[in-house]
Each structure stands twice: as structure tokens, then as C-alpha cells.
Amino acid sequence: MFLKKSCSALVFLGLSLVSAGICAQTLTVYSAGPKKLSAELIKGFEAKTGAQVNLYQATAGKIMARYMAEKNNPHVDVMISSSWGHALSLSQSGDLLPYHSPNAQHVPKRLQGPGYVAQGAAVLSIAYNTDSKVPVPHSWQDLTRPAYAGQVTMPDPAASGSALTLVEGLVADEGNKAWTLFKQLKANHIIIPGANKAALAPVLQGSRSVVFGAVDYVVLGAKAKGEHVNVVYPKEGTVLAPRPIMIMKSTRHAKLAKEFVDYVLSKQGQQLVAKQFILPARTDVKALRPGYNDIKFLHFDLANAAKDAVKTKNKFAQIMRD
């Protein structure tokens, strides 16, 4: 739900101080977490500009669904997703306002588009409970071994944009071998309990030992709070999951929306991103975890993958149902 009352709600309540001018200084942001980062970015932006921000916080799938449901009467000005595919599809459909922030000069070109840019990026990893008795895994394929039977969870690609990116990357890299891998994981009694937090919860609780495709910053954050978990970046490579920030073409507050993007990409904004163990989009802002040059990445055509996203999700779901 929105964290602040909209101008229309305040007018309804009869607050005479709310004028059209004040409403023009209210920005609506839909964000796919993490909650603490969203709150800190908004707090900093409001302090800097004097503007107000209405925030709707949910999973990437839910914020996209809300946008589509409201498309005839859109409310959102800026969207932050955990799915790069959302940015690509919205750009292709003409839903985004083209904007290139001057603060994006230190963001790699592959993390930019005509109407979107990475706020930061996650890396998909293997997360494991350090108190568990299973061996420390080193590759995706390790998790198909008998030692991990009934011990593995995975986020659902239908609910997690980052999990979908991982499936797309593995399929792009290995083709049918990747689908065989998922079949082997199914045979090894993997469970797909929901989005990222739902997949991590059984491992934190100790009822399962390993997450296939954990969002690394979530695990690193839990580790920093004292949870007995750690991450492994598989030796055969993994995928980068950029988190796009984009301005909707339907915005009525384009100037303020651009200022918000500028703030998120400022050094101050990027340091807030880094504090959550997310890779900052800017390469001149220090990451507080393994960085772009420390991990082996699988490189694939994200645009082509986005075109086949529905087919990919359906095929994965079919494997896990069979």
C-alpha cells in the first residue's frame, strides 16, 4: 500500500492547504524493494528537494501488474524493478519517458537504455546455511547430487524477476543442458515456495540447507545481522540482475521524476544502494561486497530473453509440475 496519503485523498479529507501547486510536488514511486533502501532514498530525496513521495512497495511482479491494471488511469511516475525484462518490455511498448541522467556517466553502457538505467544490481548465487551438514556447494550442478536431496529451495521465476533472469541466463548459456539441470533438481526434491524471501526462509530456519538462485544482497544482509548463512558464486558462472529505474511516459511530474532519478544515481544515492549490499550502478562508488570484477558472469542477450519470458516461465513451471 502507499506509505503516504495522495493529494486526492487529502483533498477528500478537506485539507485546504493542499493546492494544485503542492500536488505538483508529489511523486509516486513503485519499487520492488528492498524496503529499507526505498525508505532511505525517499527520505534523502524529500530532504533535498522538499517534495513528497508516495511509495508502493511490492515484488517486481506485483508492481508491474498494478501498473498494467491502472494503465487507463496511471498513477505511477517512477518505477524501480528487480527485472531488467520489465524495462525492456516497457521501453519497446513506448511506455517510458526517454531520459539520460547526467549522473549516469559512470554507469556501464550495458546497464543503460533510452528510458531506463540500473539503480544497482544483484548477483544470483547459491546461499547455504553454514550450520547445515551438507557439503559447501561450488556449482549449480552440485545441487543435483544425492547429498542435497530434499535440501534445496529456489525462488519462483513467475514471482521473482531475478530468478527469471537466472533461468534465462542458464538456458542462453547451456540450452537443453539447463533444462536437464532443472529436471534433475526436481528429481532431487527441490521446492519452489515463492519469491526470494520465501525461498530463503527455510534455509534461515534450518529446515532446508541451500537456495539455488538466491539474491546475494539479501543473504549478505542477513549474514551481517548474524544469520548463519553465506553465498557462493558458482564456478561455471552466474548472472547479473540489474535493477532498472525508469520514468513512465504518462507521468505528470516529469521534472520531479528526473530529479529523483538524478538523486538515485548521485554519489549519495548510490552509497545508500551500496549499504544494502547491492552492487551500485556507478563504478566509481565502492561496493561493500564482491564487485563486477570479482565474479564470473554469463553474458547473454537480455532483450531476446525478455521476448521469450512467458515461454521460459511456462516451461520451467511445467518441469516443476511434472
Count other Cβ atoms within 10 Å, centred on residue 71. 11
Beta bridge partners of 191: 153
DSSP E strand stretches across 100-151: 112-113, 116-129
Radius of gyration of the chain (CA): 20
Cell of 216: 546475494
Question: Omega of the bond prior to 34 within 30 degrees of 0, cis?
Answer: yes
Q: How far apart are CA 101 and CA 104, in angstroms?
A: 5
Parallel, antiparallel or unpaired: strands 52-57 and 26-31: parallel
DSSP secondary structure code for residue 321 in this structure: H
User: Which is nearest to 266 in space by CA: 12, 19, 16, 45?
Assistant: 45
Residues in the chain: 322
> In this structure, what is the dihedral angle of CA atoms 302, 306, 307, 310, given to the nearest 10 degrees?
150
Element containing residue 153 per DSSP (H, E): strand 152-155
Q: How far apart are CA 131 and CA 218, in angstroms?
A: 18
CA dist list (Å): 189 to 20, 128, 167: 57, 16, 18
* Measured distance CA(74)–CA(63) in Å, rounded: 12
Q: Annotated binding residue at 217?
A: yes
Rounded-to-integer distance, Cα 286 and Cα 208, Å = 33
Q: What residues form the annotated binding site for Fe cation?
A: 217
Binding residues: 217
